[in-house]
């Protein structure tokens, strides 16, 4: 960054220059006067070594070079070639547009070219050799050649710069003729004439004294005049005086109007005309109004009285007073003193007048002038000596003066001296002298000090002395502000400790939660975490880190607060990272959850086999590593797979693993390459695999290759492919032919083809299997036959199985029971019938028949045991829900009540009623009650309708069969009952969000003025009114609501309730609804848009009922569309304030000043959420901000002739509010149209506009 130019000949450091960036290229010109250098930022600079002046040539330079044997510079910038032919004028450059890069600078045979590479082409740019030669001539000192060259050129910025350079260089070399010509060329005619005059004087001297022309440059005239030309007048004077040419010096100074120097030279050289010269000079000064210079000369020469007079003439009483004060002998001249003092006072120089009066001991006048001149220091010093009682007053006056001048720092001590500590404290605060202010305020008492505490606290907050700030906030009663201070400083522990003293727990939690969210938005997650932890809400901190994908921090918190969820969290994070492709971090989380298998699975899915093998081996051991290595090898295939498995020592295991996982192609590939002895076993496994897939022919081939043909035979046997089984057995394994015949026989017996099966088994010489198969099929006769013919030794076994099989079966028991019944032993028959149960047989019809038969026999033949048996039998029938049969049996033994209970349980109502009619009329009510209860339990109101209408209606209502419920209720002609269920249905519809259906329900059945229904009517009205306004689409709904409310008001009047508060409330809702109807009808018609806007504004007076944010927004937008900028601004601004209040759930911050003397309510209910979408809120905010700086829009509500807001019904000057216009809701003041019905009225202007608009739009 530092350049040093060192003279190697004379051995000294010629120049050192420091640059702000590193330098990557530098080069001196041939004369070593100029240095070019380029820094790392590609900026090109020129340093003049003689003046140490640096000039920036280019902001971007990719190539730079001095032209050889000249001071011409060539450089390449962005898209241009720059040439400085005269480097002494760096601001003048020649520029060529070019493409490509400079690769070389050539100067051959008097021709200089710049070679540029542009793509594959090479282009040359030729420089002006004449301009280059000028520089060479200057360097060679050949100024005549330079003049001739420049005279041949047209004047241009470059040529002008060369003339200037030539003028400077030739003047320095005393080449007067060349310098005169050069100055004339650049327009400096004065210098040119001066040099020509000099040459004329020298020529005269040359002729007079015969001076050789070569010594002209050393002639004293040349030296003196050139020194004067360069402004070195003392040097020129010295040269002239060396030659005793005093007249020349006098002439020079006179021509330059340097009279003091001329007088000095005349006096020093004892010129005889000095007095005349001096007198003439003084006369000249007075005549030309330079009395001050004349007075100074007189004062210098000791002529004080004349000097004072001249100073007074010049209007400088200050200097006159100074002269007077320096010479005490003049102080006795009272006239002179008064004259000077008056002039000073008249000029406002009170301090100087005071000094003058003090000097002559006129102390009272001195003090007075000091005060007038605000010279309080001198006034106080004088007062301390002579007027001590005025010191305090002067100190206060001084302090107030300094305070007015904003010199608060200086005013502090003076207020203290005056005893005004409060003012001293104010100045200390204004001067930012906080320590001094602290000391002063601590010495104050009571409320006086209290007013400064907040300012001190705010200062200490700004300098981060929070403990002192807290102290003074606390003293000022602003503890909450101290909490906010700590919060802003991030000192949450201190803020929390302090907040607990002055805020509720909920407020503290809300404060910290909101600040944490703010930190989260700003990316300061650690600080947000601290806050969440401080309010004991780690869940939000965890969610925050998850949202920002800082999983390590999330896991850290889970490990602290939810250790049992740590592993699950690791796995969830790992899956998220895996889905994003961040596999290394996913691996760490999987391993932290001890789920290394998922890591392996992840790496395998991504073909990252080395990582999968590494994890399996390090985390699971050898066996899992093999499970990864073998699929890895399969993935590689070919020789690479064999090399890998051989390297890992898993060739045999790979074959077995591949076979187990049905990868037989890979298994055969490895076996054929490296472990051929495994082929038979592999063929066997492959054959079994093919058999499982039903590929029997391929499986047969593999069984044969594995030398296991019997397995192929058994395969075909299992598949019932008997021909193939015989074929394989005959070709490859004759010993297994018997197994084929046995298999065929078993298949035939399963298919009930007993003869064929018996034939196959006889061919296989296995009659014992024939007997077994017949026994399994319960073919007892065939089993006995075959046993008797072929295997007599099995005959006894067949008989035993036949006896055991028949002894306990249901069929056997029925047969035995019938046998005992026929044998005349009904008791034994009943016992056998009762042995039948559901464990033996599932056929309920068979069981019912048997048990009824048993009951019949018991009642008929065993009367003593019949009652107990009947009860047992009926219990059994009841268990299988055969109530009718059980009841019939009980009726047979006269147990009528028990029989009815069973009929009721089975819901056999006709049979029960028949029994009641025939046997027990007294139990009719019992049966009817049971029937009613059953119907209720089944929720079948249609069945119970004829029995209990009220119960049926409840059932319809409970099961949401409202149409049927209302139809039945209406049929009862009971209005109260109908109203009750209409209200219940309406409440259900409203709860389900179907308010429009509820409205239409009341429109259909009417809306009676029943107090119990008022909340429903109100809810319906507000739901319909507060939905998003969509114009004409809502007209039907608004009109239906208006019809319902109108019917309600008529009901109030019929019931003589029209003076009640409820009637007044619903009348207000009727008006609101009516205006909504008019607004929706006007909305699509541009000619009626002003009426629609007025309605939106009128509705604001009802925002104590309606959501204020929605209606202020609609009113503001309507006003904006109409060009009513003032109202639009006020309403939309109010809308934004309401949105903020809704977010904070607090109305305290609302400013009501815009709505004073209007009927727009201040207190409005706050909904849980804003009714207007966020995008519309932002659009409204941008518009309000734009209008707020527009001075052309009056940001207030317009007023009418009453002096109040033009839409307001109320006025301070009127006792009663004005009637609203039935069309717009605006007050009707003049030109009113009256309507007799309901005593309504309308503004004539709005009424006519409405009528005209409806006619034009063909709508009503």
Tell me the mean pLDDT per 10 residues along the chain, length 1260.
81 81 86 85 87 86 84 87 82 82 80 82 77 68 73 75 77 75 80 76 66 58 73 74 73 68 67 63 60 61 59 60 60 59 65 64 68 72 72 74 75 71 72 68 64 68 71 66 69 64 63 72 76 73 78 78 77 77 77 76 76 73 67 63 58 60 61 63 70 73 71 72 70 71 74 74 75 70 72 70 50 61 66 74 80 81 80 83 84 82 80 84 79 65 61 73 78 78 83 85 85 87 82 82 88 86 88 90 85 90 88 91 89 89 84 84 86 88 82 80 87 85 89 78 87 65
- Most distant CA atoms of the chain, gap in Å: 195
Between CA 980 and CA 969 the distance in angstroms is: 9
Between CA 937 and CA 682 the distance in angstroms is: 70
Give the pLDDT of residue 50: 79
Between CA 289 and CA 291 the distance in angstroms is: 6
Residues in Cβ contact with 135 at an 8 Å cutoff, skipping those fewer than 6 apart: 70, 71, 72, 85, 86, 87
Give the pLDDT of residue 1117: 93
Structural contact between residues 28 and 17, judged by C-beta atoms closer than 8 angstroms: no
Between CA 128 and CA 126 the distance in angstroms is: 7
Structural contact between residues 529 and 557, judged by C-beta atoms closer than 8 angstroms: yes
135-144, long-range: CB within 8 Å, 24+ apart, which pairs?
A: 135/70, 135/71, 135/72, 135/85, 135/86, 135/87, 136/69, 136/70, 138/71, 138/165, 138/166, 138/169, 139/30, 139/31, 139/70, 139/71, 141/173, 143/169, 143/170, 143/173, 143/175, 143/178, 144/178
**Beta-strand (E) ranges in 764-904?**
none
Q: Of 250, 253, 300, whose CA–CA distance to 271 is shortest?
A: 250
Helices of type H across 674-809: 679-692, 696-705, 709-718, 722-732, 737-750, 754-763, 767-776, 780-789, 795-806
Give the pLDDT of residue 282: 63
- Cα angle, residue 1249 at apex, residues 1244 and 1250 outer, rounded to 5°: 100
Residues in Cβ contact with 1049 at an 8 Å cutoff, skipping those fewer than 6 apart: 1058, 1063, 1066, 1067, 1070
Q: What is the DSSP string of 490-512?
A: T-HHHHHHHHHHHS-HHHHHHHH
Between CA 282 and CA 298 the distance in angstroms is: 9
Which pair of tokens denotes residue 156? 């241009």
Which pair of tokens denotes residue 1260? 């009503």
Structural contact between residues 666 and 638, judged by C-beta atoms closer than 8 angstroms: no
Structural contact between residues 1117 and 1100, judged by C-beta atoms closer than 8 angstroms: no
Residue 691: count of CB within 10 angstroms of its CB? 22
Give the pLDDT of residue 835: 74
Residues in Cβ contact with 778 at an 8 Å cutoff, skipping those fewer than 6 apart: 805
- Cα of 634 vs its chain's centroid, Å: 50
Which pair of tokens denotes residue 84? 């400085």
Between CA 454 and CA 790 the distance in angstroms is: 124
pTM: 0.35
Which pair of tokens denotes residue 881? 């829900």
Q: How many residues belong to the chain?
A: 1260
Give the pLDDT of residue 803: 41
Between CA 57 and CA 75 the distance in angstroms is: 9
Structural contact between residues 778 and 801, judged by C-beta atoms closer than 8 angstroms: no
Give the pLDDT of residue 75: 92
Handedness of CA 925, 926, 928, 933 (dihedral sign): positive
Q: What is the DSSP string of 621-659?
A: -HHHHHHHHHHHHHHH-HHHHHHHHHHHT-HHHHHHHHH
End-to-end CA distance of the chain: 88
Give the pLDDT of residue 413: 72
Structural contact between residues 1219 and 1194, judged by C-beta atoms closer than 8 angstroms: no
Residues in Cβ contact with 661 at an 8 Å cutoff, skipping those fewer than 6 apart: none
Give the pLDDT of residue 1140: 87
- Cα of 972 vs its chain's centroid, Å: 63
Give the pLDDT of residue 296: 61
Q: Which helix (H) or strand (E) holds 25?
A: strand 23-28
Residues in Cβ contact with 128 at an 8 Å cutoff, skipping those fewer than 6 apart: 85, 94
Q: Is 1019 exposed, middle or buried (0-12, 13-18, 19+ CB in 10 A)?
A: middle
**Beta-strand (E) ranges in 292-440?**
none
Between CA 354 and CA 363 the distance in angstroms is: 8
1124 φ, ψ to 5°? -90, 75
Between CA 167 and CA 180 the distance in angstroms is: 8
């Amino acid at each position: 960054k530092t350049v040093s130019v060192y003279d190697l000949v004379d051995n000294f450091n010629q120049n050192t220059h420091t640059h702000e960036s590193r330098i990557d290229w530098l080069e001196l010109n041939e004369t070593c006067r100029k240095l070019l250098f380029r820094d790392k930022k590609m900026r090109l600079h020129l340093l003049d070594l003689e003046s140490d002046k640096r000039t920036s040539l280019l902001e971007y330079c990719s190539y730079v070079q001095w032209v050889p044997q000249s001071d011409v510079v060539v450089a390449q910038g962005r898209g241009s070639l720059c040439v400085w032919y005269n480097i002494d004028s760096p601001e003048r450059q020649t520029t060529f547009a070019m493409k490509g890069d400079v690769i070389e600078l050539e100067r051959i045979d008097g021709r200089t070219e710049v070679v540029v590479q542009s793509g594959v082409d090479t282009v040359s740019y030729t420089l002006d050799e004449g301009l280059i030669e000028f520089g060479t001539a200057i360097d060679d000192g050949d100024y005549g050649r330079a003049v001739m060259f420049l005279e041949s050129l047209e004047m241009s910025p470059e040529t002008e710069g060369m003339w200037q350079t030539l003028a400077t260089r030739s003047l320095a070399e005393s080449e007067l003729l060349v310098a005169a010509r050069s100055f004339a060329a650049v327009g400096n005619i004065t210098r040119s004439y001066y040099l020509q005059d000099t040459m004329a004087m020298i020529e005269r001297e040359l002729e007079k004294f015969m001076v050789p022309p070569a010594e002209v440059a050393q002639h004293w005239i040349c030296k003196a005049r050139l020194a004067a030309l360069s402004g070195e007048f003392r040097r020129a004077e010295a040269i002239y005086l060396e030659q005793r040419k005093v007249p020349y010096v006098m002439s020079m100074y006179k021509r330059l109007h340097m009279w003091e120097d001329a007088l000095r030279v005349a006096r020093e050289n004892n010129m005889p005309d000095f007095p005349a010269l001096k007198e003439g000079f003084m006369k000249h000064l007075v005549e030309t109004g330079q009395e001050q210079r004349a007075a100074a000369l007189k004062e210098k020469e000791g002529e004080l009285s004349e000097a004072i007079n001249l100073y007074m003439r010049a209007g400088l009483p200050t200097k006159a007073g100074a002269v007077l004060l320096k010479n005490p002998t003049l102080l006795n001249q009272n006239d002179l003193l008064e004259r000077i003092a008056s002039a000073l006072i008249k000029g406002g120089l009170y301090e100087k007048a005071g000094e003058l009066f003090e000097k002559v001991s006129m102390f009272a006048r001195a003090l007075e002038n000091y005060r007038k001149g605000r010279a309080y220091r001198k006034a106080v010093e004088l007062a301390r000596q002579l007027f001590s009682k005025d010191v305090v007053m002067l100190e206060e006056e001084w302090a107030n003066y300094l305070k007015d001048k904003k010199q608060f720092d200086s005013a502090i001590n003076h207020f203290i001296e005056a005893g005004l500590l409060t003012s001293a404290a104010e100045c200390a605060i204004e001067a930012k002298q906080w320590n001094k202010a602290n000391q002063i305020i601590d010495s104050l008492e009571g409320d006086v000090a209290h007013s400064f505490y907040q300012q001190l606290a705010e200062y200490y907050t700004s300098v981060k002395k929070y403990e002192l700030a807290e102290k003074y906030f606390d003293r000022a009663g602003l503890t909450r502000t101290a909490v906010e201070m700590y919060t802003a400083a991030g000192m949450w522990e201190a803020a929390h400790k302090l907040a607990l003293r002055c805020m509720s727990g909920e407020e503290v939690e809300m404060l910290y939660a909101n600040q944490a969210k703010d930190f989260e938005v700003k990316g300061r997650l650690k600080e947000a975490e601290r806050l969440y932890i401080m309010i004991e809400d780690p869940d939000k901190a965890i969610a925050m880190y998850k949202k920002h994908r800082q999983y390590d921090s999330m896991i850290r918190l889970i490990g602290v607060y939810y250790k049992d969820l740590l592993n699950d969290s690791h796995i969830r994070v790992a899956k998220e990272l895996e889905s994003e492709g961040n596999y290394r971090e996913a691996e760490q989380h999987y391993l932290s959850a001890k789920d290394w298998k998922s890591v392996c699975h992840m790496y395998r899915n991504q073909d990252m086999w080395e990582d999968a093998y590494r994890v399996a081996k390090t985390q699971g051991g050898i066996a899992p590593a093999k499970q990864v290595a073998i699929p890895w090898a399969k993935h590689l295939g070919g020789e690479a797979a064999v090399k890998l498995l051989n390297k890992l020592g898993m060739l045999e295991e790979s074959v077995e693993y591949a076979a187990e996982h049905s990868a037989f192609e890979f298994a055969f590939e490895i076996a054929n390459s490296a472990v051929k002895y495994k082929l038979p076993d592999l063929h066997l496994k492959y054959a079994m695999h093919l058999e499982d897939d039903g590929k029997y022919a391929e499986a047969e081939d593999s069984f044969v290759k594995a030398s296991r043909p019997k397995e192929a035979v058994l395969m075909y046997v299992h598949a019932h492919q008997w021909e193939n089984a015989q074929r394989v057995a005959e070709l490859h394994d004759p010993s297994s032919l018997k197994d084929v015949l046995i298999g065929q026989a078993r298949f035939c017996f399963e298919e009930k083809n007993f003869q064929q099966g018996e034939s196959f088994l006889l061919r296989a010489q296995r009659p014992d299997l024939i007997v077994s198969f017949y026994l399994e099929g319960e073919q007892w006769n065939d089993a006995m036959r075959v046993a008797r013919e072929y295997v007599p030794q099995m005959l006894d076994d067949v008989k035993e199985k036949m006896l055991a099989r028949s002894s306990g079966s249901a069929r056997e028991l029925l047969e035995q029971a019938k046998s005992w019944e026929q044998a005349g032993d009904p008791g034994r028959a009943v016992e056998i019938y009762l042995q039948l149960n559901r464990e033996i047989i599932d056929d309920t019809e068979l069981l019912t028949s048997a048990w009824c038969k048993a009951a019949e026999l018991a009642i008929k033949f065993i009367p003593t045991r019949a009652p107990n048996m009947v009860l047992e039998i009926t219990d059994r029938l009841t268990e299988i829900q055969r109530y009718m049969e059980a009841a019939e049996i009980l009726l047979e033994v006269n147990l009528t009540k028990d029989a009815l209970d069973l009929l009721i349980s089975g819901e056999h109502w006709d049979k029960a009623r028949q029994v009641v009619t025939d046997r027990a009329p007294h139990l009719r009510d019992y049966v009817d009650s049971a029937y009613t209860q059953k119907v209720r339990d089944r929720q079948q109101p249609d069945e119970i309708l004829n029995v209990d209408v009220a119960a049926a209606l409840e059932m319809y209502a409970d099961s949401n069969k409202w149409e049927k419920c209302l139809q039945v209720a209406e049929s009862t002609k009971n209005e109260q009952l109908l109203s009750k269920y209409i209200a219940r249905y309406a409440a259900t519809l409203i709860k389900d969000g179907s308010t429009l259906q509820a409205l239409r329900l009341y429109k259909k059945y009417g809306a009676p003025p029943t107090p119990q229904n008022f909340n429903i009517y109100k809810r319906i009205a507000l739901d319909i009114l507060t939905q998003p306004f969509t114009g004409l689409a809502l007209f039907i709904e608004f009109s239906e609501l208006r019809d319902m409310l109108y019917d309600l008001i008529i009901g109030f009047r019929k019931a003589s309730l029209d003076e009640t508060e409820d009637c007044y409330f619903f009348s207000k809702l009727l008006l609101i609804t009516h205006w909504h109807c008019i607004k929706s009808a006007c909305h699509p018609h541009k000619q009626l848009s002003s009426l629609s806007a007025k309605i939106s504004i009128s509705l604001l007076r009802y925002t104590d009922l309606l959501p204020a944010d929605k209606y202020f927004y609609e009113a503001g937008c309507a006003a904006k569309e109409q060009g009513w900028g003032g109202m639009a601004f006020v309403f939309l601004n109010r809308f934004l304030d309401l949105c903020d209040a809704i977010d904070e759930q607090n109305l305290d911050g609302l400013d009501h000043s815009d709505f004073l003397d209007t009927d727009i309510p201040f207190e409005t209910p706050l909904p849980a959420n804003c009714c207007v979408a966020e995008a519309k809120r932002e659009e409204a905010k941008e518009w309000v901000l734009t209008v707020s700086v527009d001075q052309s829009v009056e940001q207030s509500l317009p007023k009418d002739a009453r002096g109040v807001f033009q839409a307001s019904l109320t006025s301070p000057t009127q006792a009663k509010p004005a009637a609203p216009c039935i069309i717009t809701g605006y007050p009707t003041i003049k030109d009113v149209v009256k309507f007799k019905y309901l005593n309504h009225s309308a503004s004539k202007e709005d009424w006519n506009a409405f009528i005209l608009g409806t006619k034009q739009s063909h709508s009503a």
